[in-house]
Amino acid sequence: MDATVATALAEGDFRTALEASVGGPPPVEALALERLGRIDEALALCDAYLATAPGDALALLVKSAVHARRGERMGALEAAQRLAEVSPDRAVAHQLVTSLGGGSFEAPLRGEVVTLFDAYADSFDAHLVEVLGYRGHEAVADALAAAGAGNPPGVIVDLGCGTGLCGPMLRPLARRLIGVDLSSGMLAAARMRGVYDALLEADLLYALATWPDASVDAFAAADVLGYIGALSGVFAEAARVLRPGGHFVFTVEATTKGAWRLGPSRRVAYTEPYVRETAAANGLVVRRHEAVTLRREERVGVAAWLTALERPA
Ligand SMILES: C[S@@+](CC[C@H](N)C(=O)[O-])C[C@H]1O[C@@H](n2cnc3c(N)ncnc32)[C@H](O)[C@@H]1O
């Protein structure tokens, strides 16, 4: 990928990315269009390109992402299945297949998550923070600052940014702050805060899988990975996208049984060995891993992990 396009895509400057991508590889131009929300044009470009190069991984990713955004699950699934065939070693490809209902059930399906959070967006901050005592956003932002993100300020991506609770705390650490979320309702609330340089409506798996190599200084993921299931695809892509020395800080609900499991809450909880082993298997070093209370549920604190990973320099 051309360096100007890669930098613009990484930094959330999608207009520049599109201008610079015209005349280059069509899948890259399609990605820039998709980032700008011009999804019909992106799909047309992908389909035309895939007619001549049916195994192009980026075109398949963008095609699948566009179908998913349009709510066309079968189209999204077919493109993801083709991606898994052509890139069998990419865990994220297999995870996309599963998340689209093409494998054994392991996490809430994306449509379920969008419906839930679109409906929750207006009352989210008041309910979660004031009623349930949620503190995940503060824990993640504090841990990123303590890990050294922001010194100097770089590109920070807030995965599953929701209404943007992390945003004001991440802003001083970032030269470019980009939020990613599946729910347009949550993103509308995040936009109102006026602290993000760019907001992207996307499944974080697609966003990570299409982000340029070694282009992000830090990822924040507060209380979102529990909607994903297995962490191998997320960690593998994050390790690819982070700059050497970059950080990935997240909270997830904790369990002591097995590796991870989908609970009655419809969120996934993870064991400490699973988090540590999956990080190590993907070349990420665990710099911090501690038990925290994420919020209250039925007046009982929800046990969670606060974890800071680093891509070794
Ligand atoms: C519990 S909220 C947390 C929001 C924010 N990180 C915070 O700490 O306030 C979870 C958010 O993750 C988003 N989400 C869930 N699954 C996602 C996915 N696969 N890709 C992107 N966003 C997702 C939801 O739409 C929701 O806004």
- CA dist list (Å): 34 to 11, 44, 50, 202: 15, 11, 16, 10
Ligand 1: centre distance to CA 59 (Å): 26
Of ligand 1's listed atoms, the one at least distance from the Cα of 137 is 8
Question: 106 in a domain, yes or no?
Answer: no
Ligand 1: centre distance to CA 134 (Å): 14
Other beta carbons within 10 angstroms of residue 153's beta carbon come to 16
Q: Is the dihedral of CA 216, 94, 282, 292 positive or negative?
A: positive
Distance of alpha carbon 104 from alpha carbon 260, whole angstroms: 14
- Model confidence at 247, pLDDT cuts 50, 70, 90, reads very high
Q: What is the CATH number of the domain that holds 202?
A: 3.40.50.150
> Which of 227, 267, 295 has most ligand 1 atoms within 8 Å of CB, for mutation?
227
- Domain span at 168: 117-310
Answer whether residue 77 shows pLDDT above 80: yes
Of ligand 1's listed atoms, the one at least distance from the Cα of 121 is 27
Question: 174 in a domain, yes or no?
Answer: yes
- Mean pLDDT score, 31-50: 97
Transcribe 179-241 into DSSP letters.
EEES-HHHHHHHHHH---SEEEES-HHHHHHHSPTT-EEEEEEES-GGGT--SHHHHHHHHHH
Q: What is the pTM of this model?
A: 0.96
Answer whether residue 234 shows pLDDT above 70: yes
Both tokens assigned to 17: 């990315």
- Mean pLDDT score, 104-122: 80
Tell how strand 216-222 and strand 154-159 pair up.
Answer: parallel
Ligand 1: centre distance to CA 2 (Å): 31
pLDDT of 111: 78
Q: What is the CATH number of the domain that holds 77?
A: 1.25.40.10
Backbone angles phi, psi at 175, to 5 degrees: -80, -40
Question: 124 in a domain, yes or no?
Answer: yes
Question: 107 in a domain, yes or no?
Answer: no
Of ligand 1's listed atoms, the one at least distance from the Cα of 136 is 8
Of ligand 1's listed atoms, the one at least distance from the Cα of 183 is 25
Ligand 1: centre distance to CA 51 (Å): 35
Residues 77 and 210 in one domain: no
pLDDT of 110: 77
Question: 202 in a domain, yes or no?
Answer: yes
Is the beta carbon of 137 within 6 A of some atom in ligand 1?
yes
Last residue of a domain, one of 67, 88, 109: 88
Residues 157 and 298 in one domain: yes
- Model confidence at 104, pLDDT cuts 50, 70, 90, reads low
Answer whether residue 298 shows pLDDT above 90: no
Distance of alpha carbon 289 from alpha carbon 23, whole angstroms: 46
Is the beta carbon of 107 within 6 A of some atom in ligand 1?
no
Question: 59 in a domain, yes or no?
Answer: yes
Q: How many percent of the chain have pLDDT more than 90?
A: 80
pLDDT tens-digit profile of 171-200?
999 999 999 999 999 999 999 999 999 999
Is the beta carbon of 95 within 6 A of some atom in ligand 1?
no
Residues 197 and 269 in one domain: yes
Distance of alpha carbon 136 from alpha carbon 305, whole angstroms: 10
Question: 96 in a domain, yes or no?
Answer: no
How many domains is the chain built from?
A: 2
Residues 84 and 131 in one domain: no
Question: 15 in a domain, yes or no?
Answer: yes
pLDDT tens-digit profile of 199-212?
999 999 999 999 99
- Mean pLDDT score, 142-157: 95
Q: Is the dihedral of CA 262, 263, 267, 268 positive or negative?
A: negative
Residues 218 and 133 in one domain: yes
Residues 9 and 157 in one domain: no
pLDDT of 126: 87
Residues 222 and 301 in one domain: yes
